[in-house]
Amino acid sequence: MENSSLLMEVVAKAQTWLAGNYDAETKSDIRRMINAEDKTELIESFYRDLEFGTGGLRGIMGAGTNRMNIYTVGAATQGLSNYLKAQFPKVKQISVVIGHDCRNNSRLFSEISANIFSANGIKVYLFEDLRPTPEASFAIRQLGCQSGIILTASHNPKEYNGYKAYWDDGAQMIAPHDENVIKEVLKIKNVDEIKFKGNPDLIEIIGEKIDKAFIEAIKTLSLSPEAIKRNSDLKIVYTPIHGTGVKLIPRALCEYGFTNIINVPEQDVTSGDFPTVVSPNPEEPAALDMAVKKAIATDADIVMASDPDADRLGIAVKNDKGEWILVNGNQTALLFVYYLIRRWKELGKITGKEYIVKTIVTTEIIKQIAERNGVELFDCYTGFKWIASVIRENEGLKNYIGGGEESYGFLPEDFARDKDAVSSCAMMAEITAWAKDNGKTLFELLQDIYIEYGYGKEKGISVVRKGKSGAEEILAMMQNFSKNPPKEIAGSKVCFIKDYETLELKNVALGKVTKLEMPCTANVLQYFTEDGTKISVRPSGTEPKIKFYIEVRGEMKTRADYDAADAAANVKIEAVRTSLGV
């Protein structure tokens, strides 16, 4: 009965599209779904409205209210236009930047959005072709715009596309703007409320001028130009995995001073179908397979890969046994922070006003590096919009060194306000050259960091619970962890508990509770044990799962201790899993 009722609702919703002012192709697609014997596609396309959430839109492309198409994108743009006009009544000419990645329909959605903004009297700077997400963030600031959007689904599968909204500082929106834009989007009840007919006079195509300014800004980040000169022929294998990185990353590397960039030709082909990979995600080992094979064939020094919108960076290095291994997001952030702080210190740039930023689930070794070198650390929630928020709050007061998260994102500058694979690739190549200049490989540099600050290993575990009952089970698990926190984990006493729902830090031994300074609450719990283990628990905001982030610590006195430290960490991680029941 429930399925019958749902189908009736879905068909009724689809019929309104057939009766409405929608294009012929969309209506034909809807008729096909209605007439199909299997109604699964129809239900999936119309059973709900695609939500414009705090991160914008993201969904499978196709016809329907729960799909990415010109009408759901149109409603989002019209709602944002209405909000911008209400927020900036005294700005003579409100303006926005529009960028997009390589995905199917990204250009179409960009042009549709440009027409809608301009129809609402808003000036549009539209990139001539695909560009990295961080460059669009840079352009918002460079051109003095009030907002911007980027059409991308990041590293999601090829069926997806997305829509990310940015504010005037070049960062993704946070409260109150994100929530207020959502309210405006929800007010759009009819397709006829969307102003699709654009004003060409308000649309300006941008490209090379911004490219050059962005690259010039990136070149100012270099901290070891002499090391680059001495190692300019460093063998760098780079792949954009069919995405926007192909436009600027090789160019940035060349202008930084590197002369030996080795391409993966099959993956230089720009394509929203991502023909050589199952998933265009540099976190996935398979996505780097072709690049690693190229590195083996050319005896390269490093492999670098960016995701489709070129904001995430994945790297692979050769270990002490001559094997190519992937470096995870925590290790990548560790290399960046260690190098940046060390070189800032050696160059006399540490004045006492410097800071770095990491997310709460990212390795605690970064905190140790910062504290030991007199650099302030800010911990923020997961998502680069929170790192950008910290930068905004400290602008003009303190000096930003860098910030990153465990999910392969880093930002070594503050002229863009989203994670940036373009500047990160240039800086990682510099780190490799500097290490080589000091007689080390990148892998040996990582080992040396562990020797100096202690070994650490991280493991992410997702427990999937689907459906209504699954959602209830996830809720019950979070409530149980909150109300009945573990007293010990894998044989080590829990000494601190952070509850971001209540914003309380509890010192278990003293029974003392203090306030956590965060911009808002979040459904995240953290446990810290006496032996340095950190456990973070949070439900996913987009998928039916609960996520566990495990970090365990160990000791290394020499590089020869690496394998033993790694093996001991694996044993400890398994003990933690058993202790938590995951």
The first and second tokens of residue 238, run together, are 């780079």
* Pairwise CA distance, residues 257 & 503, whole Å: 47
Encoded amino acid at 547, one letter:
K
The first and second tokens of residue 545, run together, are 């799962």
Q: Which residues pair with 400 in a beta bridge?
A: 355
Return the HEC string of 354-417: EEEEEECCCCCHHHHHHHHCCCEEEEECCCHHHHHHHHHHHCCCCEEEEEEECCCEEECCCCCC
> Are the CB atoms for 236 and 253 separated by under 8 Å?
yes
Q: Which of helix, strand or coil describes residue 387?
A: helix
Alpha helices (runs of H) in 93-176, residue ranges in sequence order: 106-119, 133-142
Say what angle helices 106-119 and 70-87 make with each other, to 10 degrees.
40
* Pairwise CA distance, residues 43 & 6, whole Å: 8
> Are the CB atoms for 332 and 416 separated by under 8 Å?
no
* Pairwise CA distance, residues 475 & 469, whole Å: 10
* Pairwise CA distance, residues 419 & 417, whole Å: 7
Report in angstroms the alpha-carbon separations of 334 from 72, 206, 404, 448, 508. 40, 36, 9, 12, 29
How many C-beta atoms surround the C-beta of residue 374 within 10 A?
A: 12
* Pairwise CA distance, residues 190 & 196, whole Å: 13
* Pairwise CA distance, residues 333 & 404, whole Å: 6
State the first-to-last Cα distance of the chain, in angstroms, to the nearest integer.
36
Q: With 0-12 CB in 10 A as exposed, 13-18 as middle and 19+ as buried, what is 260?
A: middle
The first and second tokens of residue 101, run together, are 């990645």
Q: Which of helix, strand or coil describes residue 57?
A: strand
Q: In what helix (H) or strand (E) does residue 494 lie, and over which residues does it extend? A: strand 492-499
Cis amide leading into 176 (omega within 30):
yes
> Are the CB atoms for 523 and 501 separated by under 8 Å?
yes
* Pairwise CA distance, residues 582 & 574, whole Å: 9
The first and second tokens of residue 72, run together, are 């759901």
How many C-beta atoms surround the C-beta of residue 19 within 10 A?
A: 9
Catalytic residues, by residue number, are: 154
Nearest to 534 by CA among 319, 362, 290: 362
